[in-house]
């Protein structure tokens, strides 16, 4: 359905903002009216007078008239010539504003009218007033309309003005339009159509070729439905984008919005959640109502796990769960009796394991598109996209950066490019060079350098032998990851680090994992053999080794005693935190086997270090002298690695001339339990304290 530019669209952000004066004019008018009344009717000229002052006024013939008001008080007006006589300097001639007579000059409160009349008559007799000079009391019944207004009417007016003001604000915040406070149940989805200019398209999405193919097919289905329906095909109901954080799921949805010529609704899963009961379900209904009016269209729900969590996992914590009500309404709208024709649902999540099974079935989300971490070629393509706005040096090698960043997501790569530009600007460079990117990778993964950190010579020696132990074992073991750089410069919360570049492989054998465990324990082994004491610096290593050993035994079936059994729950629906899928006897066996693997790996590391103790000491001395050593230094001491491939990735030419280390460093990633054996890039660090901080 085509829509003209003049037709207003619900949820469009092109509305002109309302003027502040238009929304606040009732309050302004009331305040100005109150101030005007105070200015016109304030009795600042009237003063209180006692009987003595009244007698003096009578003796001086200054009184013009006396008015008794409501039989409660007397108002005294003075003659104009008396005001000019100088006997009353506090008064000026009063002016009338045309609303009421001039204010009285004095007032006198009395007990009874009779007593005041007797007093006033006696005063006149004493002053010798003749019959033609006598002043007779005037009596008035008067109502104070100002007090009535200020005390009764004005508060109601203020309350009414405030009510109107806040209702308008709530209406605008709750989705706009008519409906007042009830618009809180309106959908908050942003609408993008052909009149809305979206800059992101598929050319901005590097890698993700399979995912782009799936999504582009959905877009093509909406553009050319006859191409598929002529063969009997049906339009898919929805597609779920699943993958780790930062891999480009939301970016892919933005590209769909930029490429599609159909209306595109974008909303976050958390936008359905509200403190009011029933608001989530109401917003779901309103969203699909708008979508059906604009069909064919695409609805994108980001972070759908906010409302799509599996039902009934914690039934004891509340019977009426608002989130479950929202999910039930979403399930009904996606595939109920009133099937939505021409409305395709795109959703993104990085926690597909906790989603409700009813949400994932065919007919709701027909396709699950897995968006994984990019491989070598995809990382190169992603780098090219993020390097477009950056001024690079001549002959810059993008493929080199892709080789040095295994395990990096698209968001990580974008961060590397931005950090490199900032480093180059900090150094007052005209272009960004390769060295800036290497320093950026170091900065992101390891943290900020702390060259001025105070470390005692004994501690520095311990750190040097610890890192040299890592380097020695990893270099001499065939299946360990090739080490690139070792440093004892404090960086972040680490006192030292050994950086390596693991091979990008999909599976790992038992031999691979055991060699990885051995070199991770090489630092602790070097401390024990050379120094004779162990320290808390191996905390990070021990944590990694313990998790990997338990994964070998409990998940991967790499223990002869346990056998070919795995206790890993890939669905994520079972809660092993409360109930274990094995007996206590099996748990003891798992502990014994994991400990056995760790001890064997530790002995293997000690054997390698003992057999190459001279090279280890030479390496540690170089570390104490230079603070940073590279792979070529290890090759000079120990020779070439066993089974080493051609060194395309070794950046010997990248070693800086100055003391500052700037070698490539892979990311430190924590894999999921089921992927523990897969090689992930990382650093082996010497922890600053015994608690990992």
Catalytic positions, written as ranges: 467
d(CA 680, CA 671): 7
DSSP string, 321-336: -HHHHHHHHHHHHHSS
Q: Give bridge partners of residue 268 from the DSSP assignment.
A: 302
Q: What's the CA gap between 30 and 28, in Å, rounded?
A: 6
Of 392, 382, 196, whose CA–CA distance to 294 is shortest? 196
Matching residue, tokens 């908050």: 188
Q: Would you list the DSSP string of 224-272?
A: -THHHHTTT-----EEEEE-STTSSHHHHHHHHHHH-SS-EEEEEGGGG
CA neighbours closer than 13 Å in the CB half-sphere of residue 30: 16
Closest Cα to residue 75, out of 99, 121, 43? 43
Residue whose C-alpha is closest to residue 596's, from 549, 554, 548, 558: 549
* 353: helix, strand or coil: helix
Q: What are phi and psi of 302, to 5 degrees?
A: -85, 145
Residue located via tokens 């014994």:
592
Neighbours of 210 (CB within 10 A): 12
Among the listed residues 66, 91, 62, 89, the one whose alpha carbon sits nearest the alpha carbon of residue 78? 62
- Tokens 């490539």: give the residue: 664
> Peptide bond preceding 592: is omega within 30 degrees of 0, i.e. cis?
no
Residues 234, 362 contacting (CB under 8 angstroms): no
User: Which two three-digit tokens encode residue 329?
Assistant: 């309404």
| Separation CA 309–CA 328 (nearest Å) | 11
Structure tokens at 600: 């064997």
Find residue 491's DSSP bridge partners.
449, 494
Q: How many CB atoms lie within 10 A of CB 279?
A: 19
Spatial contact of 573 and 359, defined as CB atoms under 8 Å apart: no
Among candidate residues 615, 646, 661, 604, the one with its CA nearest the CA of residue 482: 646
Q: Inter-axis angle of helices 510-520 and 584-611, to 10 degrees?
A: 70
| Rounded alpha-carbon distances, angstroms, from residue 5 to 14, 89, 367 | 11, 74, 34
What are φ and ψ of residue 236, in 5° steps? -65, 145
Coil/strand/helix, residue 287 = helix
CB-CB contact of 355 with 305 (8 Å): yes
Backbone angles phi, psi at 682, to 5 degrees: -175, 180
CA distances from 212 to 29, 345, 464 (A): 59, 16, 48
């Amino acid at each position: 359905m085509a829509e003209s530019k003049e037709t207003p669209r619900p949820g469009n952000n092109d509305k002109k903002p309302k003027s502040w004066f238009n929304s606040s004019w009732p309050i302004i008018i009331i305040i100005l009216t109150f101030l005007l009344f105070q200015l016109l009717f304030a009795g600042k000229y009237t003063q209180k007078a006692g009987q003595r002052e009244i007698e003096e006024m009578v003796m001086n013939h200054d009184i013009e008239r006396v008015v008794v008001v409501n039989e409660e008080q007397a108002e005294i007006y003075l003659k104009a010539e008396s005001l000019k006589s100088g006997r009353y300097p506090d008064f000026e001639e009063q002016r009338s504003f045309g609303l009421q007579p001039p204010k009285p000059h004095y007032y006198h409160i009395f007990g009874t009218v009779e007593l005041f009349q007797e007093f006033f008559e006696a005063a006149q007799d004493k002053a010798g007033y003749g019959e033609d000079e006598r002043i007779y009391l005037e009596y008035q019944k008067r109502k104070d309309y100002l007090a009535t207004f200020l005390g009764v009417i004005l508060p109601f007016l203020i309350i009414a003005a405030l009510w109107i003001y806040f209702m308008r604000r709530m209406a605008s915040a709750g989705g706009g339009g008519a409906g007042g406070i009830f618009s809180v149940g309106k959908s908050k989805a942003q609408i993008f159509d052909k009149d809305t200019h979206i800059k992101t398209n598929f050319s901005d999405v590097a890698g993700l070729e399979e995912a782009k193919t799936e999504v582009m097919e959905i877009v093509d289905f909406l553009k050319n439905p006859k191409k598929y329906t002529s063969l009997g095909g049906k339009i898919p109901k929805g597609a779920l984008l699943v993958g780790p954080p930062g891999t480009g799921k939301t970016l892919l949805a933005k590209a769909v919005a930029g490429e599609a010529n159909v209306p595109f609704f974008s909303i976050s899963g958390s936008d359905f959640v509200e403190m009011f009961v029933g608001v989530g379900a109401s917003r779901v209904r309103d969203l699909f109502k708008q979508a059906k009016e604009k069909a064919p269209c695409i609805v994108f729900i980001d972070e759908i796990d906010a409302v799509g969590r599996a039902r009934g996992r914690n039934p004891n914590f509340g019977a009426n769960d608002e989130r479950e009500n929202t999910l039930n309404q979403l399930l009904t709208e996606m595939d109920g009796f009133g099937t939505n024709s021409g409305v395709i649902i795109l959703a993104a999540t990085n926690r597909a394991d906790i989603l409700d099974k009813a949400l994932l079935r065919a007919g709701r989300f027909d396709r699950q598109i897995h968006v994984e971490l990019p491989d070598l070629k995809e990382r190169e393509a992603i780098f090219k996209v993020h390097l477009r706005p950056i001024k690079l040096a001549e002959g810059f090698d993008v493929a080199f950066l892709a080789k040095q960043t295994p395990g990096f997501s698209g968001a990580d790569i974008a961060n590397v490019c931005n950090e490199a530009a900032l480093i180059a600007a900090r150094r007052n460079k005209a272009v960004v060079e390769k060295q800036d990117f290497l320093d950026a990778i170091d900065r992101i993964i390891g943290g900020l350098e702390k060259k001025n950190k105070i470390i005692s010579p004994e501690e520095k020696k311990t750190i040097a032998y610890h890192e040299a132990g890592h380097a020695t074992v990893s270099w001499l073991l065939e299946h360990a990851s090739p080490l690139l750089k070792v440093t004892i410069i404090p960086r972040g919360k680490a006192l030292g680090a050994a950086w390596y570049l693991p091979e990008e492989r999909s599976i790992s054998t038992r031999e691979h994992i055991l060699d990885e465990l051995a070199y991770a324990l090489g630092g602790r082994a070097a401390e024990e053999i050379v120094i004779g004491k162990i320290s808390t610096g191996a905390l990070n290593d021990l944590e990694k080794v313990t998790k990997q050993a338990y994964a070998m035994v409990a998940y991967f079936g790499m223990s002869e005693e346990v056998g070919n059994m795995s206790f890993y729950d890939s669905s994520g629906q079972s809660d092993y935190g409360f109930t274990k899928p094995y007996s206590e006897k099996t748990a003891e066996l798992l502990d014994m086997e994991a400990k056995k693997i760790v001890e064997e790996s530790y002995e293997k590391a000690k054997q390698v270090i003992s057999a190459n103790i001279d090279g280890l000491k030479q390496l540690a001395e170089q570390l104490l002298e230079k603070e940073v050593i590279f792979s070529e230094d290890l090759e000079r001491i120990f020779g070439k690695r066993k089974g080493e491939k051609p060194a395309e990735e070794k950046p010997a030419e990248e070693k800086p001339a100055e003391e500052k280390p700037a070698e490539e460093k892979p990311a430190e990633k924590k894999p999921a339990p089921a992927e523990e054996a897969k090689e992930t890039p990382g650093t082996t660090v010497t922890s600053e304290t015994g608690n990992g901080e």
